[in-house]
Chain A
Amino acid sequence: MIRVQSLTKDYGSRRAISDLTFHADKGEILGFLGPNGAGKTTTMRILTGYMPPTSGKVTIGGHDVIEDSLAVRKIVGYLPESVPLYNDMTVFEYLKYMADLRGIKNARRRITEILELVQLEERSGGYIGKLSKGMRQRIGLAQALLHEPEVLILDEPTIGLDPKQVVKFRELIRSIGKDRTVLLSTHILPEVQQVCDRVVILNKGRIVTEDAPEQLQARLMGSQRVEVRVDLNGTPESRLNDLLAALEKVPGVINITPKTGGRFEFETAPGQDSRPEAARLIVSTGFDLLDFHPIKMSLEEIFLQLTQDEPGVPESEVDEISQESREFNEEAAAGQAGDNQ
């Protein structure tokens, strides 16, 4: 549905996005994740036909966004980050204006439908200037959905909403996204996990990686980390230390990190599942095993790792870091594959 090839955009001498290539299929909810300034909004503005790229090709629904801009705009619904609205119009007047601009027949009926969908029917006659932030966001979304677009492009749609509103909004997106293609940008990581089918991570105008949220976790967790808790029961510390020392000798166990209260963590090397042997060792040494569970790398850690920014890292080195991430991922994937054998 959305095909982006080698997209580049310069603002004068500043390169905002560089050689982006990605796609989103029909019915997919694609997340655009990246720190502020990564180029998410720029990319979206190009996709919606607001501004032209410096180079590269973008097609939405088969139409080129430059040559066939009007055709693209007809099938795209867009909500910019600032949710711009006319404060002195009523909700109904505004949606009617938008509907008329898009040539929607039976505008009245459609507006009522949409307002029900975003749960704002009672506010139809109220002035937009009087609405809360959450309501404004929903009006913006209503505007984007008015013409039943095949593609929805939402720029940081949950910014500024309170937690309850955020939950509702995400549910809405999920239900809307079922038969539409949605491109959603955010720097809120849980959002990506809860809503998106796939995520593209952007940093400094480049794509760092692209995958489904769970796959990303798997790829970066080439090694497994396990947290263990044993019952101390007045056991002297020396006995625990002996256990840890013995554990170190188990093949494939690396990086033992002791914690308090009988807890410790260990890591298994890529390609090796040392968990059974480790568990057996613990029990056979006479300890009561209270807890033994894998630690998943949170998306936050993945994100930080992939967008690692040492102060003063020159542009050229960012490429290297990205390249290193890629290589690391590949090795990890290979290791994981071996692991699953």
Chain B
Amino acid sequence: MRNIWVIAEKEYKHYFISPIAYAVAFAVLLFLGVILYVNILAASIQMYAPTIQIVLNPLSTLLLFMAPAITMRALAEEQKTGTLEILLTAPVRDWEVVVGKWLGSILFLITLLALTLPFAILLNSLISPGIDQGLMAAGYLGIFLLGAAFLAIGVMTSSFFSNPIAAFYATLGILLVLWVIGFPTEVMSQSAGVEILRFLDMGMHFYSTFLVGVIDLKDIVYFLSVIALALFIGTVSVETRRWR
């Protein structure tokens, strides 16, 4: 168990050595900052109070594109440099390696989310009597779960490849599919298949719920299931590396 934390800590520290983390943070915060500014401008002209959604909404889309970058190296790089062989011959279980890597990326996610808090504080000071804190709590919880799920899928996909760039594109592909899979169902008639597609759609579990302040157990279960499944598949993939 301790091993998970050791690996997570190392991964987390490592993010701040590589330029990827800084690039991701820079891109995210810059983009959010600009959007925030534009939104506030529009709101002041049109006389309405913006909510924290103007931060969280773009953030969710940004995470979709950043998660592959954050996780692409996780296992693919270890495989490429051969350091995975050392990890797998150390007294560490395979699943501990996968979970540890994921946890490291989660810590980075939390750091990133914390960096967006100034936006919330800023917004709070601009609006009276202050932003809807319930909405903010639900929103951030939702974003956290969404991001955690993205990262789990990213770590899983990283374990399939020994080339980080390939892992990046594969993760992006998978995330995009899961992001839009429910869209077409808007115009389709009700049926079991449509229900399933709607259920799989990650966006739906965020936009119609957390983003609008609704914390529903079924959505939490959904995200936790995605995380568990992805990490499980990742573990199996690492195990099969031993056979190749």
Interface residues of A (CB under 8 A from B): 45, 48-52, 70, 73-74, 76, 78, 80, 82, 84-89, 97-98, 100-103, 143
Contacts and interface: CB of A to CB of B under 8 A. Distances in A.
A88 B14 contact: yes
A48 B89 contact: yes
Interface in B1-51: 2-3, 6-7, 10, 14, 17-18
B90 interface: yes
A313 to B, nearest CB: 29
A88 B13 CA distance: 11
B83 A85 contact: yes
B93 A101 contact: no
22 contacts: A45-B85, A50-B85, A50-B88, A50-B89, A70-B93, A73-B89, A73-B90, A73-B91, A76-B89, A78-B86, A80-B82, A80-B85, A84-B81, A84-B82, A84-B85, A88-B14, A98-B86, A101-B6, A101-B7, A101-B87, A101-B90, A103-B2
A97 B10 contact: yes
B235 to A, nearest CB: 15
A312 to B, nearest CB: 30
Given A52-B242, A88-B17, 20 more contacts: A45-B85, A49-B88, A49-B89, A50-B85, A70-B93, A73-B89, A73-B90, A74-B91, A76-B89, A80-B85, A84-B83, A84-B86, A86-B81, A88-B14, A89-B14, A97-B10, A101-B91, A101-B92, A103-B2, A143-B86
Contacts of B86: 78, 80, 84, 98, 143
Contacts of B18: 88
Contacts, number: 55
Given A52-B243, A97-B6, A102 B91 contact: yes
Contacts of B243: 51-52
Interface of B: 2-3, 6-7, 10, 14, 17-18, 81-83, 85-93, 242-243
Q: Which 3 A-B pairs have the closest CB atoms?
A: A84-B82, A73-B91, A84-B83
A70 B90 CA distance: 8
A86 B10 CA distance: 11
A89 B14 CA distance: 8
A50 B242 contact: yes
Nearest to A81: B82
Contacts of B81: 84-87
Contact of A102 (B14, B83, B90): B90
A74 to B, nearest CB: 5
Contacts of B93: 70
Contacts of B17: 88
Nearest to B83: A84
B89 A101 contact: no
Contacts of B10: 97
Contacts of A51: 242-243
A237 B240 CA distance: 72
A88 B16 CA distance: 11
Contacts of A98: 86, 90
A76 B90 CA distance: 9
A51 B7 CA distance: 22
A102 B3 CA distance: 8
A310 B7 CA distance: 50
B21 to A, nearest CB: 13
Contacts of B92: 101
A103 B1 CA distance: 11
Most A C-beta atoms less than 10 A away, residue of B10, B17, B86, B88 = B86
Contacts of B7: 101
Contacts of B14: 88-89
Contacts of A89: 14
Contacts of A45: 85
Nearest to A79: B86
A48 B242 CA distance: 12
A85 B78 CA distance: 10
A17 to B, nearest CB: 15
A86 B81 CA distance: 8
A94 to B, nearest CB: 10
A70 B93 CA distance: 8
B6 A78 contact: no
